[in-house]
Amino acid sequence: MNPFFRTSLVSAALAGSLTAQTAPKPAAPAHEHAPVALDQFVTSATPFKRNQVDLAQSATVLAGRSLLLKQQPTLGATLAGETGISDSYFGPGASRPIVRGLDGERVRILENGLALLDASANSPDHAVAVEPFLVDRIEAVRGPAALLYGNAAVGGVVNVISHRIETELHDERVRGGAEGRHATGSGETARGGVLDVRLFGSRDHAVVLHVDAFRREAGDINIPGPAESLRLRRAEIAEARAAGKPAPVFEGGTLPNSGLDAEGMASGLSWVTRNGFLGISRSGFNTDYGVPGHAHEGEDEGGVRIRLRQRRNELQGEWRAPRATDLVQGVRLKFGRGDYRHTEVEPDGAIGTVFTNRGHDGRAELLHGGGTGWSGAVGVQSGRNRFTADGEEAFLPNSTSRTEALFAFEELARGAVTWQAGGRVERAQIAADGRRARSEMTFSGALGAVWRVAPEWTLALSATQTRRAPNAQELFADGPHAGTQAYEIGDDDLGTERSTGLEVSLRRRVGDVTGAVSVFTNRFAGYIFEQPTGLVAVEHKGGWKFVDEHNPEAADHGGLPVFRTVQRAANFWGFEVEALWHLHEAPGSQFDVRFTADFVRAKEGGRPLPRLPEARAGVGLLWASVAWTFGVDYLHAFPQRQVAAHETNSDGYRLLGANVSRALKFGAVEAEAFLRATNLADREARPHTSFLKELAPLPGRSVTAGVRFSF
């Protein structure tokens, strides 16, 4: 084990802390922590903390028990069951959130409001450089969220919030916890811990030290049958027979080369007062995971593995005005610097391609208000990163990207209506080795209204216009891309991508039935995506040449289909439903039924866009008492027949899960033991959004047992 992590794990163990959660909360009946629709506070959509029902845009929050029971090794898999969110599943080690059918850089993934600075947006087999095990909460804002975080965030923002820098003054001298879990489906074992120590201070200020660490180990996952789909197995059998060869043997039960090892640690030091804080933190994350999908090729030597390493430093500070009537309500500063590197290791141990991303992201906000019902913020943001790729599969040139932005957000409450508006001006510069530099100025603006139609009903409307400059991959890609199994060609003449988004949401926060119904549309002018050319790239004299896809040479040499980046007019639209029916609620218990559904369609020129999420509907039952909770959930994914060129239809699938937990208290120590079962019926599931849908299904039946302590 890396000494960097060994030291942190020993420190956490000596402190008696091994958990994924930080400061414990006062004891409360278990049913008070049950998921309640639209009753969570969100910090990622506006400069101020707001309840979900008071936002112009739809949002999802995972925290506490909900996060505990849904946590997976990757961020995408953790969020994949949430309304309007799917994932780009590339095995257990790599999965990125897809929001309302939009992915890549159109969904901004942040840690504590700052850019991750990884390479997950460049390829689906690249992992997101953050582990859900050591986070306090995950906030996902659906729909255009470009005002605060960047004009590229057309699809939404996913903000992973950790507790490494203390932001509030607490009386406890020591706080912490411990968690361990084991899963049968992959033999996964995970453990981790956190400790907050108040080193010195008084009633009005304190210095707080934070340390945390975790480790996760998992083998190849269990799957219901062969890794290859029935369609692929039939095609390979027919091909073998046509060539006069014996039919291939397809083994099942496990997904080859799907194991992973991950470890991380962090430390932070904060100066906290009643009116603000200033703190620094340093964190590290390592993971080594297999890239599945090659079992059908007979690669007995194990397949490609990716070794990822990231180091991250953060500085955060905030000053809050002592009086609510002050014109200046506060000042907020954030700065993060990341050093990312991942190495692709070939089956024989040789180094294939090395990707690095080094840079920083910083922002400053001035919060103001003081008037009746009026508040807002103005801010600046600046970022820079240097991305490099070196090796056989370096289909991107080395590049440097810079952004500078000025943004503003204002909120005005007048009677039953709260208006929310803002704008962002951003300058984006890209300079790639051997290519001409690009510099573009873009503007995004939004207007929203939240109308309390009645005490229990709220109607939210939002309209957003965004302008997104093309990124380095869209401009400069030229070469074979192993993650997508395609030869990709960019276009350095691409223009700005423009979009207009509209959303209407009807919400009910109190009553026997609570929840929301949302409809949305997003129209693009100059939508950027990869389109098949009808050509195939085959290796020729140490290079590549392009032949027609029907040319026998394409099949004989195992060529790669050629995709070219293009711009077209496109339209996304869909709806989402979340409803919670409170069948029984008493001081000591409650019983709820939860219903969810989501649907998205996207077309350009009457043709579906690639890898659209399938329509889904789900139902769940939850019973909770002071000490016990029981839950059952069922998800039905419908077949996807709306497919782009070079795609195949996807069958529907059904997933059944269940969970039970028990809350315990031992003096000052609170504990929660839990069991979670996923895919209880052991059904084959192949999401249409996955590049590996024909080669790697979702995990089969698995039972996770764990316990969490906090003190």
State both tokens at 568.
């077209």
What are 527-552's pLDDT values in tens digits?
999 999 989 988 887 788 888 888 87
What are residue 240's phi and psi, to 5 degrees?
Answer: -65, -45
Q: Write down the pLDDT at residue 40.
A: 83
CA atoms of 506 and 53, how far apart (whole Å): 9
Q: At a CB cut-off of 8 Å and minimum separation 6, what does 202 contact? A: none
CB atoms within 10 A of CB 543: 7
Tell whether the model's pLDDT for residue 502 goes beyond 70: yes
State both tokens at 672.
């929660």
What are residue 174's phi and psi, to 5 degrees?
Answer: -135, 135
Q: Write down the pLDDT at residue 134.
A: 83
Tell whether the model's pLDDT for residue 22 goes beyond 60: no
Q: SS3 sequence, 358-419?
A: EEEEEEEEEEECCCCCEEEEEEEEEEEEEEEEEECCCCCCCEEEEEEEEEEEEEEEECCEEE
In the chain, what percentage of residues exceed pLDDT 90? 74
State both tokens at 38.
């639209």
| Segment 8-24 mean pLDDT | 33
> Which residue would you say has higher pLDDT here, 621 or 554?
621
Q: Is 64 helix (H, G, I), strand (E, B) or coil?
A: helix
CA end-to-end span of the chain: 29
Q: Are 142 and 671 in contact (CB under 8 A)?
A: no
State both tokens at 623.
């019973």
Q: Write down the pLDDT at residue 146.
A: 65
What are 181-227's pLDDT values in tens digits?
999 999 999 999 999 999 988 989 999 999 999 999 999 999 999 99
Nearest to 575 by CA among 611, 528, 608, 613: 613
What are 453-497's pLDDT values in tens digits?
999 999 999 999 999 999 999 999 999 888 888 899 999 999 999
State both tokens at 67.
């996060």
Tell whether the model's pLDDT for residue 592 goes beyond 50: yes
Nearest to 445 by CA among 473, 410, 469, 412: 410
Q: Write down the pLDDT at residue 23.
A: 35
| Segment 573-594 mean pLDDT | 94
CA atoms of 36 and 509, how far apart (whole Å): 9
Amino acid at 609: L
| Strand spans (E) along 397-485 | 399-414, 417-432, 438-454, 457-468, 478-481
What are 86-106's pLDDT values in tens digits?
999 999 999 999 999 999 989
> Which residue would you say has higher pLDDT here, 4 or 348?
348
State both tokens at 561.
């289909």
Q: At a CB cut-off of 8 Å and minimum separation 6, what does 339 contact? A: 310, 311, 312, 358
Tell whether the model's pLDDT for residue 294 goes beyond 80: no
Nearest to 580 by CA among 591, 569, 588: 591
CB atoms within 10 A of CB 433: 10
Q: Give, in degrees to the nearest 5, the angle at Cα 21 between 150 and 199.
A: 95
Going by pLDDT thresholds of 50, 70 and 90, the confidence category of residue 17 is very low
Beta bridge partners of 126: none
Half-sphere exposure of 165 (CA within 13 A, CB side): 24
Q: Would you give the distance in Å from CA 56 to the centre of its chain?
A: 21
> Which residue would you say has higher pLDDT here, 379 or 30?
379
CA atoms of 163 and 113, how far apart (whole Å): 13
Q: Write down the pLDDT at residue 31.
A: 39
DSSP state letters, 171-210: --SEEEEEEEEEETTTTEEEEEEEEEEEEEE-SSEEEEEE
What are 323-337's pLDDT values in tens digits?
877 889 999 999 999
Q: Give, in degrees to the nearest 5, the angle at Cα 560 between 288 and 534.
A: 140
State both tokens at 669.
């120590």
Tell whether the model's pLDDT for residue 517 goes beyond 90: yes
How high is the mean pLDDT of the chain? 90
- Cα-based distances in Å from 654 to 98, 307, 555, 682: 20, 33, 36, 10
Tell whether the model's pLDDT for residue 354 goes beyond 50: yes
How many helices and strands in the chain, by DSSP H and E?
Answer: 7, 37
Q: Write down the pLDDT at residue 38.
A: 64
In the chain, what percentage of residues exceed pLDDT 70? 92
What are 225-270's pLDDT values in tens digits?
999 999 999 999 998 998 899 989 898 899 999 999 999 999 999 9
DSSP state letters, 286-327: EEEEE----GGGT-TT---EEEEEEEEEEEEEEEE-SSTT-S
CA atoms of 341 and 570, how far apart (whole Å): 35
Cα torsion through 692, 697, 257, 261, rounded to 10: 100
């059998």: which residue's tokens? 237
What are residue 526's phi and psi, to 5 degrees?
Answer: 80, 40
State both tokens at 171.
């009386």
Q: Write down the pLDDT at residue 548.
A: 87
Size (the chain), residues = 711
Tell whether the model's pLDDT for residue 4 goes beyond 70: no
Tell whether the model's pLDDT for residue 556 goes beyond 70: no
Q: Does domain 3-710 have CATH number 2.60.40.3880?
A: no
CB atoms within 10 A of CB 333: 15
What are residue 476's phi and psi, to 5 degrees?
Answer: -120, 0
Tell whether the model's pLDDT for residue 8 goes beyond 80: no
The helix (run of H) or strand (run of E) holding residue 629 is strand 628-637
Q: SS3 sequence, 201-235?
A: ECCCEEEEEEEEEEEEEECCCEEEEECCCHHHHHH
Going by pLDDT thresholds of 50, 70 and 90, the confidence category of residue 302 is low
Q: Are 50 and 448 in contact (CB under 8 A)?
A: no
